[in-house]
Amino acid sequence: MSDEQSQQPAAAYLEILNGALVGTRFPLGAETIIGRDDEDLPMKEGGIDLADTRVSRRHARIYIQRGRYYLEDCHSTNGTFLNTFRLQPGAPCVLREGSNVQVGRVHMRFRPTLNSAETSGDSNAAAPWASEIGLNEEIFDLSLTANPDASASQADISMLFCPVDLPEPEISVVLDAPAVVDALREAITDDEKASESDDLRRLRAMAQVSIGLGGEHDRESLFAKIMDFIFVIFPTAERAFVVLRDKESGEFKPSAASTREPSGEGEVLALSEAIVDEVVSQQRSILSNDAADDHRFDDHQSIRRLGIRSMMCAPLLVDNEVMGLIQIDTHRETHSFCEEDLQILTGIGAQVAIALKNFVLYEDIGHLFESFVTASVHAIEARDPTTAGHSFRVAEYSRHLATVVDQSGQKMLRDINFSRDQMRELRYAALLHDFGKVGVREHVLIKARKLYHSEMDVLEERFRYAYASLERQAYRELIDQHGELSPEEFKLRRGAMDKYLSREAAQLQRFMAMIKHANEPSVLDDEVTDDLRAVADFIFPGNDGEHVQLLTAPELDALTLARGSLTPEERLEIQSHVSHTFAFLSHIPWTASLSAVADIAHAHHEKLDGTGYPQGLVGDEIPVQSRIMAVADIFDALTAGDRPYKCSLGVDQALDILHHEASTGKVDPILVDVFIDSQGYQLFNQ
């Protein structure tokens, strides 16, 4: 006996499962060749001759090594298959009990022993042969024995095995996944209801629950959908309702209810406190097959009064927290539901709970973000209290205008619509449109007049210095002449000096009045230039006798600003708030539905004719949301309460200015008309 034979655990064999040799068992030696006998190359003794033209003469071999049998393809023409998978030539695979070996058209099953009786005295002999995982031998047998005709057996087994000439396992079914999901979203038709089995209908409905819940973004539509599903999944259910725990009080309150028949709407909900308590505190799902005889309902007249016979109740359970419960019932008959129904309802309850939990998280994130936005707006408006409320009002005017535009049938507006997400996008853009003012120095931001307070203080101090210098010079001249003058002459000179100083003082006062007048932002440069030129030309002697100007060149420039209170540099700094806003908003990882917030806010100072800032966009380059916001922004800036640098205007004046801006190609004339026609300007009763 060879070493290898001594390793042989037991007599193993291959049993032919189809064809002419069906039922034949071929014992396996230390090495067994599977092939086709040929005159030129006769089959070795102990080999398995399959006499099949699709079998190579030396097709495959089975050999034993370290107590295990291996199957190896010997570079055959048509391949060797082990459990439907084609073997790599020369790469042995281990055989297990029940392994299916296919060579040519012939299928064989590997058995480690000849029969159980032969090995009954050696129970350990069969131990190494674990049954093949995933193979249903009975199905093989059925398919093979159903048609004993050898020529037809290939067709029979093709359902289970790959055709020999295909190198890869066959893919039987390919589905378009989105199409399948879409089909599942659709309601089941009456025809489908009639043709489907209960199990299939339930499976389909469960899949719909799963898909449907994922697409809902508010509780009402979620509950409506759940009710629809309930009546499909449980054909005998007549009523269904959802009870949720109130966040504040912790009490369980009905949140949604539905009846199969429309006539049942308005029925009193039969909610048993005992049931609620058991479902919630014990986290149990409950099925009552005959509520009339169920002692748990003894104290609950509503259930008896409604004649409820069968009911099921399941918790909305997620993360060990009961968010509520779902109950379905019927008064038609007892035993309407079974344990399997209760399992399904429990599964639905868990799905609803997850959806609700997601809503809560979604709402929490929403509230968190709203609070952040609100806090940001308050923070920026705190720097300039006179603009308090501006951002909120602009958001509200913009919302109003966008809503009217969305609903407008006007030719030019018909194609402009805003989804719910786009309305939110516009709102955030409007709320945060001026947030970039955090990047503008505060004294510039709130600059009320052409000269800052500190500059006016210096100026007034210089005026006092000028008068004191003039006075000192006059007295010094008088003292210098004192020894040369008689008392009368001195008195006359003194009187003349006093008059001179009074004139100078009066002139300085007049100059100061001019400056204060010119300092107002509403005063235009052509009103003040000549007067201020006289002030700027006024020279007085300094401490060391040098010439000092009463008004410096920068002060003159500031006081002769064409409009407003800002120098060109300061105006640029104020305008930079838009770029700061854009930079700030661009840092926020907006969701896809809010991705345009930064761009909308970025364009709120653009003008249709390209004269706006900071990008100088023209016409349609400016998003319509930004054009809407521009109308709102201008109107509120004009009509809001007095600001240090300007008085508020009446509504009529503000609308006139808006009209003027529209007629000169700055703002969208259609939007201005819509704003006026829809009386958007009355939103805050200004």
Q: Footprint of Fe ion on this chain (CB under 5 A)?
A: 434, 633
Name, in order, each residue with C-beta under 8 angstroms of 51's C-beta and a sequence gap of 6 or more.
20, 36, 37
As measured in angstroms, the least distance from the Cβ of 671 to Fe ion is 16
Q: In this structure, what DSSP letter does residue 246 have?
A: -
**CB-wise, 58 or 433, nearer to Fe ion?**
433
**CB-wise, 490 or 584, nearer to Fe ion?**
584
**CB-wise, 54 or 437, nearer to Fe ion?**
437
Using CA atoms, how far apart are residues 130 and 113, in angstroms rounded to an integer?
13
As measured in angstroms, the least distance from the Cβ of 224 to Fe ion is 41
Determine the 3-state secondary structure of 540 from DSSP. strand
Q: In this structure, what DSSP letter does residue 217 have?
A: -
As measured in angstroms, the least distance from the Cβ of 574 to Fe ion is 9
Integer Rg of the chain from CA: 47
What separation in angstroms does the CA of 145 have from each of 127, 139, 156?
Answer: 29, 10, 9
The H-or-E segment that residue 662 falls in is: helix 651-663
Task: Write phi, then psi, for 2 (nearest 5 degrees).
Answer: -75, 165
The H-or-E segment that residue 68 falls in is: strand 68-73
Q: How many CB atoms lie within 10 A of CB 385?
A: 9
Using CA atoms, how far apart are residues 374 and 194, in angstroms rounded to an integer?
55
As measured in angstroms, the least distance from the Cβ of 313 to Fe ion is 55
As measured in angstroms, the least distance from the Cβ of 607 to Fe ion is 13
**CB-wise, 469 or 639, nearer to Fe ion?**
639
As measured in angstroms, the least distance from the Cβ of 589 to Fe ion is 24
- Strand 31-35 and strand 48-49: pairing? parallel
Q: In this structure, what DSSP letter does residue 438 have?
A: G
As measured in angstroms, the least distance from the Cβ of 543 to Fe ion is 48
**CB-wise, 78 or 626, nearer to Fe ion?**
626
**CB-wise, 425 or 434, nearer to Fe ion?**
434
Name, in order, each residue with C-beta under 8 angstroms of 252's C-beta and a sequence gap of 6 or more.
243, 244, 245, 246, 276, 280, 324, 325
Using CA atoms, how far apart are residues 626 and 642, in angstroms rounded to an integer?
25
Tokens representing 618 are 């023209």
- Strand 31-35 and strand 58-65: pairing? antiparallel
Using CA atoms, how far apart are residues 112 and 15, in angstroms rounded to an integer?
11
Name, in order, each residue with C-beta under 8 angstroms of 322's C-beta and a sequence gap of 6 or more.
245, 279, 280, 283, 315, 316
As measured in angstroms, the least distance from the Cβ of 185 to Fe ion is 44
Closest CA to 29 of 3, 47, 55: 47
As measured in angstroms, the least distance from the Cβ of 513 to Fe ion is 35
Closest CA to 512 of 444, 446, 434, 451: 451
**CB-wise, 538 or 645, nearer to Fe ion?**
645
**CB-wise, 85 or 613, nearer to Fe ion?**
613
**CB-wise, 278 or 434, nearer to Fe ion?**
434
Look up residue 146 and give its amino acid. Answer: A
**CB-wise, 294 or 434, nearer to Fe ion?**
434
Please provide the size of the chain in residues: 686
**CB-wise, 606 or 633, nearer to Fe ion?**
633
As measured in angstroms, the least distance from the Cβ of 394 to Fe ion is 6
**CB-wise, 425 or 633, nearer to Fe ion?**
633
Span between the terminal Cα atoms of the chain, in Å = 112
As measured in angstroms, the least distance from the Cβ of 684 to Fe ion is 15
Residue owning tokens 């002692």: 295
Taking each helix axis as running N to C, give the angle between helix 390-407 and helix 669-677, from 0 to 180 degrees, rounded to the nearest 10: 90
Q: How many CB atoms lie within 10 A of CB 633?
A: 23
As measured in angstroms, the least distance from the Cβ of 505 to Fe ion is 46
**CB-wise, 466 or 608, nearer to Fe ion?**
608
**CB-wise, 384 or 455, nearer to Fe ion?**
384
Task: State how far Cα 22 lies from the chain centre.
Answer: 63
As measured in angstroms, the least distance from the Cβ of 604 to Fe ion is 6
Task: Write phi, then psi, for 173 (nearest 5 degrees).
Answer: -135, 130
Whether 82 and 93 have beta carbons less than 8 Å apart is answered as yes
As measured in angstroms, the least distance from the Cβ of 355 to Fe ion is 40
Q: 314: number of CA atoms within 13 Å, CB side?
A: 21
